[in-house]
Structure 1
Amino acid sequence: MHASQGRSAGLGLALASAFAFGGSGVAAKPLIEAGLDPLHVVWLRVAGAALVMLPVAWRHRDLLRRRPALLAGFGLLAVAGVQAFYFASLSRIPVGVALLIEYLAPALVLGWVRFVQRRPVTRAAALGVVLAVGGLACVVQVWSGLTFDLLGLLLALGAACCQVGYFVLSDQGGDESDPVDPLGVIAYGLLFGTLVLTVVARPWGMEWSVLGGAADMDGTAAPAWLLLGWIVLIATVLAYVTGVVSVRRLSPQVAGVVACLEAVIATVLAWVLLGEHLAAPQIIGGVVVLVGAFIAQSSTPKAASAQPVAGAGAATLAAGPPDDRETAGSVDRAEA
């Protein structure tokens, strides 16, 4: 495939992933309001997706022998870590602050690429990160509940670091000498993530009866099982698959900036489907995020031909991570 075509396809997949991840909040919030604990919704999401991907895991069972560290790392960081740290931070700091810190991940990815991998990054990518983070601050209206809690900030930073792990680990496995199917990585990542989240969420205490009833979506009754199906199939399985493939066609830093669109999409969908109206600063911030993402995706890594992405043929595997994030009062991918 021609390089420009591959990049265009990667961008399209990244946007699809952002839309899928961003749509998790509008489905999760009605379930939470109907009586489910947020962590239980996260567990249902990851466990359901792991069940759907179980045949894929069986098909790629050789990965357990070939790349156990990659699979365990992806499950711990990209699936369970982002969500666990994010929800823990919400108990101590406002949602907007936690979300903004988590989305510092694109800037941290740039730092990883530049100072750890010692690969140059373009000014356009750096500018895109700055614009995206600044616009995101407006989208989540970080000033509306700004408080300082050291532990809460550290937990949110932990979520951001786990999201960096999502992009970095996604970059592994593209080496032509030892290729790893991204679907296998996702399948086992979800399985490992389910095991970790089972300990954290303790689903045996869940209000299972909620899933047999209906949940309210801005005055419209929606079957709880249908909302859960959307979260599992679209906001998790489809989101991870399109995200993984997109990052392998782009780069960690570009995919990280495009992932910032998830918060914008989540806020817009909450406006349309849940009646959570947008303020002028949020609309302006969304535009700034779009501009930042456009600038970053149009950049080309320096010396790309001489310094290919470590461990990847074309780029990397993109959340948050996956994660369930809550924005404008609704839960979105912690997220892991």
Structure 2
Amino acid sequence: MPVPISASSRGSHGKGAGLGLALVSALAFGGSGVAAKPLIEAGLDPLHVVWLRVAGAAVVMLPLAVRHRTLLLRRPALLAGFGLLAVAGVQAFYFAALSRIPVGVALLVEYLAPALVLGWVRFVQRRPVTRAAALGVILAAGGLACVVEVWAGLSFDAVGLLLALGAACCQVGYFVLSDQGSEAAEQAPDPLGVIAYGLLIGSLVLTAVARPWTMDWPVLAGSARLDGTAVPAVALLAWVVLVATVAAYITGVLSVRRLSPQVAGVVACLEAVIATVLAWVLLGEHLSAPQIIGGAVVLLGAYIAQSAAPAKGAAEPVAAGGGAERELSARGTAA
């Protein structure tokens, strides 16, 4: 059912709910690596794990896609943009980058997305950005550099960095397209329908890239090792699909609608912190002192940004009157 967001609901209560949803989304997304890594170590190709994740989530959301089939005619550009950028683009570019540059470097470049979102809001939408929000992004980016220990990998590959930057740009598309619900409640497309069709489109694109017919399917019938403990591979896959994808995308999109793309983008940086902590607890990958300090800095940056930046429903100057339909049209063209 549609999720109406009235102007009165964008006050402190709506902002608090949005922050909670953003944290849940970061937790869900952050848990994907802990479940996916044992599957990869058990013999699955990383790109095949991505395809299983997206295609499985698309199957789960298929009934909602059928229910909101009118979206195909009403918002084709939005659905195509969400599927290509927010789903297939982020996943494909990120995993391609991992084949050329260290994981930490790729993750840091990808999570430049919040800074790019601020650039979109300031220079494309021509809306003001508070100094505190900008400071929050700087702190989050600096803390993230400590979390991933970027100094540990200095042999940069130009193509790899460009691929990681492509993932960051696609992640910008995720936050910006998720923000399209600023229209009147009766005009705003249902977020669940958008996610459902985004996953369907993303799974089609990834099918052509991953070629799942070449996958080692018997791996899913066996078990994988989670810090030495045997866990059914299908259970890990279920977590990746249901929690790290379906629940993560739903809470992420709803959080953007209650906050703003720049604030939700900064909070999403917590995903890297959460992923690192979960890997420490569940996989035995211990944190170093700089990583712990960096995690605290990321938390501080996210808090400063969300507490200081105005809610998107608040009165704030916007140049040239950019109404909701005009903004959506521009985003669809860019997509």
Q: Considering the TM-score relative to the shorter chain, is it more than 0.5?
A: yes
Counterparts of 1:280-291 in structure 2 under 5 Å? 280-291=289-300
Aligned-partner Cα distance in 2 for 1:283–1:302: 30
How far did 1:92 drift?
1.2
Instruction: Specify whether residues 7 and 200 from structure 1 end up closer, same or farther in structure 2 by C-alpha distance, changes over 3 A only.
Output: same
1:184 pairs with 186, 190, 193, which one? 193
Deviations 1:110-160 (A, max 9, x none): 001001110000111100000000000000001101122111111111110
Structure 1 runs of 4+ off > 2 angstroms? 300-304, 306-313
2:12 pairs with 4, 20, 36, which one? 4
Instruction: Specify whether residues 153 and 7 from structure 1 end up closer, same or farther in structure 2 by C-alpha distance, changes over 3 A only.
Output: same
Instruction: Specify whether residues 310 and 204 from structure 1 end up closer, same or farther in structure 2 by C-alpha distance, changes over 3 A only.
Output: farther
Aligned-partner Cα distance in 1 for 2:34–2:247: 16
Matched AA of 1:305: A
Aligned-partner Cα distance in 2 for 1:174–1:69: 17
Matched AA of 1:61: R
3-state DSSP class of the match of 2:189?
A: coil
2:151 pairs with 128, 143, 148, which one? 143
1:217 aligns with 2:230: no
Aligned-partner Cα distance in 2 for 1:264–1:139: 7
Contact kept? 2:223, 2:232, Cα under 8 Å: yes
Aligned-partner Cα distance in 1 for 2:270–2:209: 28
Structure 2 counterpart of 1:250? 259
Deviations 1:261-312 (A, max 9, x none): 0000000000000000110000000000000000001013399314479676
Aligned-partner Cα distance in 2 for 1:26–1:306: 41
Contact kept? 1:120, 1:301, Cα under 8 Å: no
Instruction: Specify whether residues 88 and 311 from structure 1 end up closer, same or farther in structure 2 by C-alpha distance, changes over 3 A only.
Output: farther
Contact kept? 1:121, 1:302, Cα under 8 Å: no
3-state DSSP class of the match of 1:305?
A: coil
Structure 2 counterpart of 1:293? 302
1:108 aligns with 2:108: no
Counterparts of 1:1-336 in structure 2 under 5 Å? 1=9, 3-176=11-184, 178-301=187-310, 304-307=314-317
TM-score scaled by structure 1? Answer: 0.90
Matched AA of 2:213: W
How far did 1:172 drift?
1.4
Deviations 1:187-224 (A, max 9, x none): 00000000000011110000110111110001110000
Aligned-partner Cα distance in 2 for 1:312–1:103: 27
Aligned-partner Cα distance in 2 for 1:225–1:100: 30
Aligned-partner Cα distance in 1 for 2:311–2:233: 49
Matched AA of 1:300: A
Deviations 1:159-185 (A, max 9, x none): 100000111111114311621100000
User: Where does the alignment leave 5 or more consecutive residues of structure 1 unmatched?
Assistant: 317-336
3-state DSSP class of the match of 2:126?
A: coil
Instruction: Specify whether residues 172 and 47 from structure 1 end up closer, same or farther in structure 2 by C-alpha distance, changes over 3 A only.
Output: same
TM-score scaled by structure 2? Answer: 0.91
Matched AA of 1:149: D
How far did 1:14 drift?
0.4
Higher helix share: 2
Q: Taking every aligned residue pair, what percent have the same amino acid on both sides?
A: 80
Matched AA of 1:195: L
Deviations 1:49-84 (A, max 9, x none): 000000000000000000001001100000000111
3-state DSSP class of the match of 1:171?
A: helix
Matched AA of 2:16: S
Contact kept? 2:62, 2:196, Cα under 8 Å: yes
Contact kept? 1:171, 1:312, Cα under 8 Å: no
Aligned-partner Cα distance in 2 for 1:233–1:172: 24
Contact kept? 2:260, 2:311, Cα under 8 Å: no
Contact kept? 1:248, 1:312, Cα under 8 Å: no
Aligned-partner Cα distance in 2 for 1:144–1:289: 19
Aligned-partner Cα distance in 1 for 2:132–2:322: 21
User: Where does the alignment leave 5 or more consecutive residues of structure 2 unmatched?
Assistant: 1-8, 329-335
Contact kept? 1:47, 1:191, Cα under 8 Å: yes
Aligned-partner Cα distance in 2 for 1:85–1:157: 8
